[in-house]
């Protein structure tokens, strides 16, 4: 039988962070992934990923929440970046967020698998290049951009697993930050397939 994957269901980010700090560091990549259910702007970690749009100048959904929580200095830095292509990723400071960095990636509009794969790969690469050891992803493209939730979860889990297989020592924790019940149901089932112990 598969060992149970540690999951975080706490709405309290402080509690989640305390758990993360207490969690023993284990080399196996499958010990490094977690589910967090709640608001990504509450996470006190190295980097949170933003599901942005090509302008990088803010929007609704998780993008709006991140800009509101980070304050206007985030927008000021984003203005200097001259936008971002779909599938690419760019890093900024976190400003008033408890996270040190925000990694902005632009998901595809609709189900364009390769572009969504690129979002995860490029975000993890940018994270690695900047010494980020703890990172959280929202469910990129599954809101306003309408990528089907379950298929998007397969992409997210595949890409994180593949990246960790090659670069396990670069990261202490990769968090799938889930905001909707539907995604909690999907990830709790699929994560066991991608990260068995």
For ligand AR6, the closer of residues 53 and 127 by Cβ is 53
**Nearer CB in complex with ligand AR6: 3/72:** 72
Q: Which is nearer to ligand AR6, 11 or 169 (CB)?
A: 11
Residue 36 and residue 136 in contact, taking contact as beta carbons nearer than 8 Å: yes
Least distance (Å) between residue 65 CB and ligand AR6: 4
The residues binding ligand AR6 (CB under 6 A) are 39-41, 51-53, 59-63, 65, 107, 138-145, 177, 179-180, 183
Distance, CA of 74 to CA of 93 (rounded, Å): 7
Q: How far is the CB of 32 from ligand AR6 (least distance, A)?
A: 20
Of 55, 164, 50, which is closest to residue 101 (Cα–Cα)? 50
Neighbour-count burial for 19-49, b at 16+ CB within 10 Å, e otherwise: ebeeeeeeeebbbbbbbbbbbbbbbbbbbbb
The residues near 81 (Cβ < 8 Å, ≥ 6 apart) are: 56, 90, 92, 104
Nearest distance, CB of residue 167 and ligand AR6, angstroms: 24
Cβ proximity to ligand AR6, 12 vs 169, nearer residue: 12
CB of 116 to ligand AR6, least distance (A): 9
């Amino acid at each position: 039988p598969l060992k149970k994957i540690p999951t975080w269901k706490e709405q309290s980010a402080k509690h989640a962070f305390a758990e993360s700090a207490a969690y023993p560091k284990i080399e196996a990549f499958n010990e490094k992934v977690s589910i967090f259910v709640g608001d990504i702007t509450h996470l006190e970690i190295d980097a949170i990923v933003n599901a942005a749009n090509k302008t990088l100048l803010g929007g609704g959904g998780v993008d709006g929440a991140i800009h509101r929580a980070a304050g206007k200095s985030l927008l000021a830095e984003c203005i200097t970046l001259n936008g971002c292509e779909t599938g690419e990723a760019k890093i900024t400071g976190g400003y008033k967020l408890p996270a040190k960095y925000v990694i902005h990636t632009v998901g595809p509009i609709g189900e364009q698998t390769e572009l969504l794969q690129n979002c995860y790969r490029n975000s993890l690469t940018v994270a690695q290049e900047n010494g980020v050891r703890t990172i959280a992803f929202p469910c990129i493209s599954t809101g306003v951009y309408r990528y089907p939730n379950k298929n998007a979860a397969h992409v997210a889990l595949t890409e994180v697993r593949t990246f960790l297989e090659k670069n396990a020592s670069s990261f202490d924790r990769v968090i799938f930050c889930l905001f909707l019940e539907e995604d909690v149901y999907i990830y709790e089932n699929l994560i066991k397939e991608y990260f068995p112990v």
